[in-house]
Amino acid sequence: MSTTAASLRIGDVARLVGTTPRTIRYYEEKGLLPAGAGRAAGQHRLYGEGDVERLRELLRMRNLLGVPLEELRELVAVDDERAMLRSELHRTDAPAERERILHRLDALAERQLAAVDRRAGELDALRDEIAARRARIAELLAEPER
């Protein structure tokens, strides 16, 4: 049922996303990555393209938002619910049901957007302040007189 075969090992994945095996195991331990359900203790972990994407998103958000992993987990929990709802959406044709799901999806996206948007706005403000300073300096350089 997976889109891509799970044929990558932890070291490969680590190289692909630019991190270390230890970090991947740690994220699994903390519930940020699925625990690879059908895998007996001692066996090697196997990953697919989807897992790689997931991990990329995690690292990206960690870098951009700088939030603790705990908080990060909640954000991706939103993603998980999104995936669930989307597959649910594909299995139904009932219009009322579809609308209900879509509204829920929208609410989730809105929540995530709010978290990111606020940060982005603040950063933009900071950037603008610095840019304004540069502009003033450029002005002073342009007119050598008082």
Q: Which is nearer to a copy of itself, 42 or 144 (CB)?
A: 144
Min separation Cβ 30 and a copy of itself, Å:
19
Min separation Cβ 16 and a copy of itself, Å:
19
Site for DNA in 26-55 (CB under 7 A): 26, 30, 41-45
Q: Tally Cβ neighbours within 10 Å of residue 104.
A: 15
Min separation Cβ 87 and a copy of itself, Å:
15
Can you tell me the distance from the alpha carbon of 87 to that of 84, in angstroms, rounded to the nearest whole number? 5
Query: Shortest CA distance to 51 belongs to which of 14, 20, 78, 82?
Result: 14
Query: Shortest CA distance to 30 belongs to which of 60, 63, 66, 74?
Result: 74
Min separation Cβ 124 and DNA, Å:
24
CA dihedral for 136, 139, 144, 146, sign (positive or negative): negative
Site for DNA in 95-124 (CB under 7 A): none
Q: Which stretch binds DNA (CB under 7 A): 17-25, 49-57, 109-117, 132-140?
A: 17-25
Q: Which is nearer to a copy of itself, 44 or 146 (CB)?
A: 146
Tell me the H-state helices in 8-94. 10-17, 21-29, 49-65, 69-91
The correct pick among 22, 65, 92, 97 for binding a copy of itself (CB under 8 A) is 65
